[in-house]
Amino acid sequence: MQSKTPDDEAELDLMLVGTQALGVTGNVFYSARNDKWGMTLYGSTNSQKEYDPDGDEYSNLPRARTISLNPKVFYYPSDKTTLWLGLNGTFDDRKGGNLDAIDGNNNGYLEQNISRRLSTQAVWDTQLTDHSSFQFKNSIAYFNRELLIPNMDFKGNQVNTFTEVNYKTNSTKTDWVFGANLYTSSFDEDVQINERDQKDTTIGAFVNNITDLNNNWILETGLRTDFTTDWGAFVLPRASLLYKSDGRFTSRLGGGLGYKIPDLFTEDAERLNFQNVMAIDKNNLVAETSYGMNLDFDYGFAITDQINFSINQLFYLTAIDNGLLLNSSATSPGMFEYSNATDFTFSRGAETNIKFSYKDFKWFLNYALIDTQLNYLDGNPQKPLTAKHNAGSVIMYENEKWRIGYETYYTGRQLLFDGSDSQDFLLMGLLVMKNFDWGNLYMNFENLTDRRQSRFSPTVTTDITGVPTFNEIYAPTDGFILSAGIIWKPFGNKSHHGHGHHDD
C-alpha cells in the first residue's frame, strides 16, 4: 500500500481486523490528485493483548501497541517530471514474559521493547528526452530503541541516510544506467561508556547495461564500486545471460559479487539481547564478501484449451568469505566478541515452482532445497535453524464475488544449536473472502491444525528459583489464529475488488 501512487479518481480504503488471539488492527488509505498535485495517506494501528495458548504462564504473543502513519505529497510540474516527498512514523511498545509480570503483579521475568522510527523519502524523476531520464532519491531514517529485561537496559539511537542520482538512456538494442550514491550510518548507544558507538560512510558508483544480442539472447552486465571509510574499496561485477525461445521457454544464467561491512546488529547479538556483546573492532575485522551464481528455467504450455501449466526451476550457489561470527571471548571471560570465520559458508539449493490454472481455479506448488554448510566448523555442519526441505501448496478459487484459498506448508527438520534435530511440521490455512460493491468481508484461518512448538518441546523452562530459560524457536509459537475483517471502500478503487487488502 505504501508504494501506491495517486490516481485521478480519489480513493478511500478502511480496514478493521480482529483475531481470537485478542488482537485488533485498523488500517486506512486515502489518495487523490489533480493536474499538479497528489497525495496519499496510509495509517495503521494495532493492539494485541498478551496471549498464552499453551498455558505455561509466559506470553506466546506479547502485549503490543503499534501506531504507524505514512503521508506522501506528489507534485507534477510537467508531464515529464514528478516530485514526491514522504514521511513515515512508527511507534511500537511490546511487553512479553511472565503474565503476572506483564500486568505488574509480580517481579517475574519481563521483557519490554520500545521502538520509535521516523523516516523521510524524496524522489525527483524527470524525462530529459524520449530516450533518457534523470532521477534523484534521498531518505533519512531515525531509529530509537529501548530494550528492558531484568538487570539490563539497552538504549540507542541510529540515523541512516541514503542518497542516489542516476541517469538512464536507451536505444533500440541497448539500455544504460549510470549512477552514484552516498550511504551513512551512525549508531549512538545511550550508556556511560560509548564503546559500541558506530559510524560508517560508503560512497559508490555504478553502471548497468542491457543489450539485445539478437531476437533470442539478452545480455545484462553491471559494475559497482563502493568506497567505505573503514573497510576499504569493493569492486562488484555482475552479469547474466537470458535466452528466450520463440515459444514459452526462457532460461537465465547469472552471477556476481557482494559484500557486507561488520555491524553490531546481528541475529546472534539479538538472541543475547546485546548483553555482554563487545563492540565491533575495526582493527581486527574485515568485511564479509560473497560470490553467487544462479541458473533458472521457465517453461509453460497449454495442456488443453482450458488447462494451463507452467514451471520455473532455479538452482543457486552462494559462498560467503570472512563471515561475521559472535562467540565467547577468549580474553574477556563472560563476554562475547565478533570475529571473522576462518573458512567459507556455502549455500546451495534449488527451488521449483509449478502453476496449474483451470477457469477460476489456480494451483501453486513449490519446493525449496536449502543446503547451507558452515565449513569453518568441524564436520561442515548445516546452518542451525535452517530447514533443508520446504514445500508448499496453494489452491485458489477467485471470481468477481468470491476469493477462496487453501494453503499447506511443510517445514523439514532443522539443526538446533545443541546438535539435535527439531521436529518437522505441516501448517494449513484457509482464506474466505466475499466481494461486495462497497468492499469485502473475509475470514482467515491460520495454522488450522494448531501446530506450535510447545507441542514438540517447551519454549521456556524454569529452574527451581523460577528463573526462565528461553529455548530456540524453530516452529510457530502462537498456534491457530482466526481473524475476521471488513474492508470498506466508500469511493474509488471499484475495479479492484477480490484482490485482498493492501500490504503496507
The percentage of the chain sitting over the pLDDT mark of 90, rounded to a whole number, equals 88
What percentage of residues in the chain have a pLDDT greater than 70? 97
Between 152 and 488, the more confident residue is 488
Question: Could you read off the pLDDT of 171-182 as tens digits, one per residue?
Answer: 999 999 999 999
Hey, which residues does 34 pair with through a beta bridge? none
DSSP classification of residue 423: P
Whole-prediction pTM: 0.89
* pLDDT tier for residue 5 given thresholds of 50, 70 and 90: confident
Assess whether pLDDT exceeds 50 at residue 100. yes
Among 222, 365, 238, 243, CA closest to 296: 243
Query: Quick one: pLDDT at residue 463?
Result: 83
In this structure, what are the phi and psi dihedrals at residue 495, rounded to the nearest 5 degrees?
-90, 5
Instruction: Please tell me the predicted confidence (pLDDT) of residue 1.
Output: 56
- The confidence score (pLDDT) of residue 497 equals 43
Residue 349 CA to residue 318 CA, distance in Å, equals 9
Q: Does residue 169 contact residue 179 with C-beta atoms inside 8 Å?
A: no
Cell of 232: 576499504
> 276 pLDDT band (50/70/90 cuts)?
very high
Q: How far apart, in whole angstroms, are the C-alpha atoms of residue 351 and residue 294?
A: 11
Where does the pLDDT of residue 499 fall: very low under 50, low under 70, confident under 90, or very high at 90 and above?
A: very low
pLDDT bin (cut points 50, 70, 90) of residue 151 is: confident
Residues facing residue 63 across a β-bridge: 95
pLDDT, position 291: 98
- C-beta separation of 466 from 417 below 8 A: no
Whether the pLDDT of residue 70 is over 90: the answer is yes
Residue 113, CA atoms < 13 Å, CB-side half-sphere: 12
Q: Per residue in 123-142, pLDDT tens? A: 999 999 999 999 999 999 99
Contact criterion met (CB below 8 Å) for 80 and 127: yes
Radius of gyration over every alpha carbon of the chain, rounded to an integer in angstroms = 26
Instruction: Count the residues in the chain.
Output: 504
Q: Calculate mean pLDDT across residues 238-264.
A: 96
Q: Name the band, by pLDDT with cuts 50, 70 and 90, for residue 475.
A: very high
pLDDT confidence tier of residue 409, bands split at 50, 70 and 90: very high
Q: Quick one: DSSP state of residue 399?
A: -
CB 157 within 8 A of CB 142: yes
What is the predicted pLDDT for the residue at 503? 43
- Considering only CA atoms, which of 171, 75, 165 is closest in space to residue 129? 171
